[in-house]
Structure 1
Amino acid sequence: MASPSGTSSGSSLLQNSASEEDRQAVMDQKRQKRMKSNRESARRSRMRKQKHLNDLAAQICQLRKENSQILTSLSLTTQHFFAVETENSVLRTRMMELSSRLQSLDEILNQIDNSSITPWNLMYMNQQPIMALANIFQY
């Protein structure tokens, strides 16, 4: 007793099998697409990381160069500082010497101003020292 439904159930199985294969193919296609997308995403991530590493390496080189320039500038500035410090020390010493001389000259001027200059003192101040001949004391 072959029923028309028997053939339809066979064709239904065949359709189910075909639709199952189609679904499997679609799932495989989606899986392949997802795997390809993941691989591409991983590749982009690796490229970003590599670019970041390259940028950091370039930044290290730049910072080392700047550091070297700063150290050179610091060394020159330190040398200049010590030269100026030495010059200041010399100038302070000279200033103290000149201040001392000025004070001595001021004292001499005060002595002259404070002494009463009279005509008989002027005569004494204008006199030349009397020099004796060297052979005068020989016997």
Structure 2
Amino acid sequence: MSSGSDSDPRYANVDERKRKRMLSNRESARRSRMRKQQHLDELLKEVNNLKSQNSEVAYKIDAVTQRYTGVESENNVLRAQMMELTDRLRSLNSVLEFMQDASGFAVDIPEIPDNLLEPWQLPFPVHSIPNAFQC
């Protein structure tokens, strides 16, 4: 006895549609895998790009931090020198005052400028800080 699909043309048509659908599904799955692989490749490229940018930013931050530390150290030295010079000026002024009192001659004793006593109140305009990420 033969199967119905071998002799009946209706079943042959169904088998042909089934075979075409299987081929279509395989092709669709292949395209889907290709799209997925392409998407994965794009994501990996983006990850590498972001890692590179991150390294560059970290390098710039490091450079700016080193410059900041250097400027801060220099500022501390300058502050100490300013305090020492201010103390010397006070001492010299007191010697001049003593000489004036002892000799009776009028001596012009300059006042210590306020900006030396209060360096945060500088008499000149404050300049803006340049962009820290420009190297």
Shared fold, TM over 0.5: yes
Unaligned ranges ≥5, structure 2: 106-135
TM-score, normalised to structure 2, is 0.68
> Counting helix residues as a fraction of each chain, which structure ranks higher?
1
Q: Which residue of 2 aligns with 1:68?
A: 66
**Separation (CA, whole Å) in 2 of partners of 1:13 and 1:96:** 121
TM-score, normalised to structure 1, is 0.66
* Moved beyond 4 Å, runs of 4+: none
Amino acid at match of 2:61: L
**Separation (CA, whole Å) in 2 of partners of 1:79 and 1:46:** 50
Q: Greater relative contact order (Cα 8 A, min sep 6): structure 1 or 2?
A: 2
Identity of aligned residues (%): 7
- For these two proteins, the number of residue pairs brought into alignment is 102
Q: CA RMSD in A?
A: 2.1
Alpha-carbon deviations, 1:40-59, whole Å to 9, x = none? 10110111111111100111
**Separation (CA, whole Å) in 1 of partners of 2:10 and 2:94:** 121
Unaligned ranges ≥5, structure 1: 1-5, 110-139
Alpha-carbon deviations, 1:52-97, whole Å to 9, x = none? 1110011101110111111111111211111121111111111112
Say whether 1:84 aligns with 2:61.
Answer: no
Q: Compute the displacement of 1:100 (Å).
A: 2.1
**Separation (CA, whole Å) in 1 of partners of 2:92 and 2:64:** 41
